[in-house]
Amino acid sequence: MATAGKVIKCKAAVAWEAGKPLSIEEVEVAPPQAMEVRLKILYTALCHTDVYFWEAKGQTPVFPRIFGHEAGGIVESVGEGVTELSPGDHVLPVFTGECGDCRHCLSEESNLCDLLRINTDRGAMIGDGQTRFTARGGQPVYHFLGTSTFSEYTVVHVGCVAKIHPAAPLDKVCVLSCGISTGFGATVNVAKPPKGCTVAIFGLGAVGLAAMEGARISGASRIIGVDLNPAKFELAKKFGCTDFVNPKDYDKPVQQVIIEMTNGGVDRSVECTGNAAAMISAFECVHDGWGVAVLVGVAGKDAAFKTHPTNFLNERTLRGTFFGNYKPRTDLPGVVEMYMNKELELEKFITHSVPFSEINTAFDLMLSGESLRCIIRMED
């Protein structure tokens, strides 16, 4: 492309300080360096993780910053050493990576790349420690999760870019680069519910509903949704929910309620809240002998998980997962194909859509609990 090797001026939504509305303004995006790719972002979505760090609740607040990490776009240019991607390729940038060379990448059992695993503190590129964004007056603007998709152009390490089928609609599959894959993969890759089994899903936000979608596709005969908001049951039915349990409706632990409902416990459970008490309930509600509980939610730094060792002795299994155990570059193209083959439904996750100029509306919708996923159209 004519812009290859040159600085690109474009619009980006810059967060200048915590909790304040993003400002749409012109930034300069430097060319990609070795093992980097510059992307033209066409669609991006807002994830709760963006909001969490925008509110400066994360470990190390870094501002000014360009947030955004769920997106779909096209390769504009590539840096030295990049052979897997070419200008024009349709891609999903991902907040975690796959270098292809470390022990984790070479293992079939892990997606925790030594080089490119998620780093919420880093605000610059891993190659040289510099940012590729500058704003007015030449001020550096920092990256977020190595993606920074709230910009018309962004620079990403090649290991954090999944090449997908060019016919896949980017305004739909962009949601697969974070939350939906995290929840869906937790069920199908980690919990692996047998057909006809019972499954409990704790937390019915976007990630929990994606986990529920995984249970539905797997052929679970009974799917129990657990949430403190009763209004979520109606929506959850679209994802296969057959029963709804609100812990506030009972004067006994929710795990006991579920055990009584299911003649001894569910076969599988997936926890998507990040609340330590919910994690314990998710584990203790699975059936002895074969029950598997999978923890997806991210707990607070001081949280503790406490359960009696007998629960393990009685052959209950507790599993953890990160990004649904998907290797970004290797596995995401296949998840996109599932959508294209109508095996996986994405439209029901997308509740709103706004032009880039109204990106702050997406934050309002998420903060009010009105949206699951709001698509931000970069070219409108």
Which one of 49, 96, 149, 198 is the catalytic residue? Answer: 49
Average pLDDT over residues 158-174: 98
Q: What is the pLDDT of residues 4-47, one digit of tens each?
A: 889 999 999 999 999 999 999 999 999 999 999 999 999 999 99
Q: Does the annotation count 102 as an active-site position?
A: yes
Q: Does the annotation count 99 as an active-site position?
A: yes
pLDDT bracket for residue 266 (50, 70, 90): very high
Count of domains forming the chain: 2
23 and 163 part of one domain: yes
What's the rounded Cα separation, in Å, for the pair 280 and 194? 23
Query: Is residue 334 assigned to a domain?
Result: no
Which one of 76, 113, 131, 287 is the catalytic residue? Answer: 113
pTM of the model: 0.95
Query: Is residue 220 assigned to a domain?
Result: yes
DSSP sequence for 100-114: SSSHHHH-TT----T
Query: Is residue 36 assigned to a domain?
Result: yes
Q: What is the pLDDT of residues 104-117, one digit of tens each?
A: 999 999 999 999 99
Q: Does the annotation count 373 as an active-site position?
A: yes
Q: What is the pLDDT of residues 205-239, one digit of tens each?
A: 999 999 999 999 999 999 999 999 999 999 999 99
Average pLDDT over residues 345-374: 95
Q: Is 136 left (phi over 0), alpha (psi -120 to 50) or beta?
A: beta
Q: Does the annotation count 178 as an active-site position?
A: yes
19 and 40 part of one domain: yes
Which one of 38, 90, 117, 329 is the catalytic residue? Answer: 117
155 and 268 part of one domain: no
Which one of 65, 90, 98, 99 is the catalytic residue? Answer: 99
What range does the domain containing 232 cover?
A: 183-322
Query: Is residue 95 assigned to a domain?
Result: yes
Q: Does the annotation count 272 as an active-site position?
A: no
Cα–Cα distances in Å, from 128 out to 32, 35, 123, 261? 11, 11, 12, 56
What is the overall mean pLDDT for the chain? 96
Q: Does the annotation count 374 as an active-site position?
A: no
127 and 236 part of one domain: no
Q: Does the annotation count 370 as an active-site position?
A: no
Residue 136 in this model has a pLDDT that exceeds 90: no
206 and 167 part of one domain: no
User: Residue 121: its pLDDT value, please?
Assistant: 84
pLDDT bracket for residue 1 (50, 70, 90): low
170 and 285 part of one domain: no
Which one of 36, 65, 70, 241 is the catalytic residue? Answer: 70
Q: Does the annotation count 352 as an active-site position?
A: no
220 and 311 part of one domain: yes
Q: Does the annotation count 351 as an active-site position?
A: no
What's the rounded Cα separation, in Å, for the pair 170 and 179? 16
Which one of 38, 69, 132, 287 is the catalytic residue? Answer: 69
What's the rounded Cα separation, in Å, for the pair 6 and 359? 27
DSSP sequence for 244-281: EE-GGG-SS-HHHHHHHHTTS-BSEEEE-S--HHHHHH
Query: Is residue 331 assigned to a domain?
Result: no
Q: Does the annotation count 49 as an active-site position?
A: yes
Q: Does the annotation count 69 as an active-site position?
A: yes
274 and 254 part of one domain: yes
